[in-house]
Amino acid sequence: MSEIIMEIIGLYSGKLSVIGEKRSQTGIYKQSVEQVSVNEMGIVGDVQADKRFHGGSEKALHQYALSSYEKIIKRYPLLHKTAKPGTIGENMSVTDMNEHNVYIGDIYQVGNAIIQVSSPRIPCWKIDAKFKQPHVNQFISLHRLNGWYYRVLQPGNISLTDVFLLQQRPNTEITVDTMLRVIDGETEARLVELATNATGLDPEWKKQLQNKYPLV
C-alpha cells in the first residue's frame, strides 16, 4: 500500500454542558486544544453526554470532514460564522478526509496512538439546537455528511503537529458513504453483504444490519 498521510488541523475536547429548551446534557461544545491523550474510551477529559451518539469504546473518537462544513454553509449561508471546524462535536479535523475516501476498518497511526474506523456517526437534534437552525440535522443525514467514529487500538498522545498515517485498509469497497447507503437501504445486495461482514465494523451495527437484511 502506498503511504497515505493527512495533516491534523484541529483537536477538540469538551466539558459537560446543557442545550435546548429542556436544557439537556451535552458534550457538543468543544474547545480547541494543542495536544490530547487518548485511551480506549476516547480523549482523556472529553465528555460525551449521550453515549448512543458519541462515546464508549466503539465510538471513542469522532471526526468530521472539513468539506462537509462547506456544504452546510452553502445550504445555510447564515451559518458562515458559526459552522466551522469543532462545532459539530467532533474531536478532530484533518485535511483531505471525507466519507468517500475513509473506509470502515481503516487503521491509522496518529502520534503514538493507533485508531480504527468503526462506524458512521448518526447525527442528532443537538446539531440544530447548537446552530439555532432547523433541519441542519436532516440536511446532514440526507447528503450523508455524517462523519465517523474510531475505536482506539493503542492508547497514546496526539498533537496538532502529528499526521494521520494509514496503516491498513481491510475493506477496499466499504467507504463510510457506502456504509450509510447500506444503512439507508440504497445499495446492492453484494455491498450489503460486504458491509455487514466488514472487518472492524462496530458489532452493534453488524447486529442491526443482520436484523435489517436477514438473508445476508
Which pLDDT value is given to residue 55?
77
* E strands present in the chain: 5-13, 17-19, 24-26, 31-33, 35-39, 42-43, 61-63, 92-94, 107-110, 113-120, 148-154, 156-159, 163-168
Which pLDDT value is given to residue 5?
85
How far apart (Å, rounded) are the C-alpha atoms in residues 67 and 136? 15
Which pLDDT value is given to residue 90?
96
Asked if 19 contacts 130 with a C-beta cutoff of 8 angstroms, the reply is yes
Domains of the chain plus CATH, in order, are 5-171 (2.40.33.20)
pLDDT-flagged residues of the chain (< 70): 1-2, 49-54, 216
C-alpha cell at 122: 448518526
Amino acid (1-letter code) at residue 96: D
Which pLDDT value is given to residue 51?
66
Contacts of residue 125, defined as CB under 8 A and 6 or more positions apart, other chains included, come to 20, 137
How far apart (Å, rounded) are the C-alpha atoms in residues 179 and 104? 8
Instruction: State the first-to-last Cα distance of the chain, in angstroms, to the nearest integer.
Output: 30
